[in-house]
Amino acid sequence: MEKLTIRSCVIKKDRKSKTDFFAPETGPSAKKYVVMVNPTSFKHELSIKYDTASGADGKKSPLGTSAAQPKFQATQPEDLSFEVFIDGTGVIAATRTDVSQELTNLKSLLYFYDGKVHQTPVVYLTWGTFSFMGRLKTMGIKYTLFKPTGEPLRGKVSLTFTSYVSAAEEAKMANKTSPDLTHRIEVMAGDSLPLLCDRVYNNSMYYLQVARINGLRNFRKLEPGTTLSFPPLR
């Protein structure tokens, strides 16, 4: 049976963008952790951040007014959480496992600050067809069985990871970066300049700047079929 595996990642450089990114480490020196028992379940959370405090004009809504229509702000990092079971009695593994040493190995891979890259480790998780790259967010350890000396024999480790996305990938994925590109839009019937600015920049208040750039004398009345340019303004 294939088991959930956590692999270490190393920094590499993208040849095109010249930016650094993390990739799974390969070779004999690569660190990895294979769980003793596959999780009975895992939770994969995706969330989006909206601005509900502003109206269509981008200004803050006064207190006591009806709720504003939620406006997209950003896609939040994904979270992945599950439990890892560690057994030191020899019942599960063919040989007895030192629970304390097992936890040290896990912390070394996930938790300890890496002075070389000045941040906590990025790891790559795989299980069957599922894969996830991210950093440890929280780690909780619950000991459930002990030796007479107090040394732990069993434990459950609750792990939560937050996703890692390289700067180059974030630039491609994030909606907020679309205003950093020049857009050419053909005006349709019913379009207004504030509406188009809100669509491109998420802020309708850029309409005066766009009007000047496109040489519009009467921006309140757009001619259908006209192509307008929306350059980066931020």
pLDDT surpassing 50 at residue 149: yes
Question: Quick one: fold of 5-171?
Answer: Elongation Factor Tu (Ef-tu); domain 3 (2.40.30)
Provide the pLDDT for residue 69.
Answer: 67
Whole-model pTM: value is: 0.66
Evaluate whether 5-171 and 174-230 have a shared fold: no
Provide the pLDDT for residue 223.
Answer: 86
pLDDT surpassing 90 at residue 82: yes
Mean pLDDT of 69-90: 86
Mind spelling out the 3-state secondary structure of the chain? Answer: CCCCEEEEEEEEECCCCCCEEEEECCCCCCCEEECCCCCCCEEEECCEEEECCECCCCCECCCCCCCCCCEEEEECCCEEEEEEEEECCCCCCCCCCCHHHHHHHHHHHHCCCECCCCECCEEEEEECCEEEEEEEEEEEEEEEEECCCCCEEEEEEEEEEEECCCHHHHHHHCHHHHHHCCEEEECCCCCCHHHHHHHHHCCHHHHHHHHHHCCCCCCCCCCCCCEEEECCCC
Provide the pLDDT for residue 78.
Answer: 92
Provide the pLDDT for residue 176.
Answer: 44
Residue spans per domain, the chain:
5-171, 174-230
pLDDT, mean over the chain:
82
Mean pLDDT of 15-33: 82
| Domain 174-230 classification at class level | alpha beta
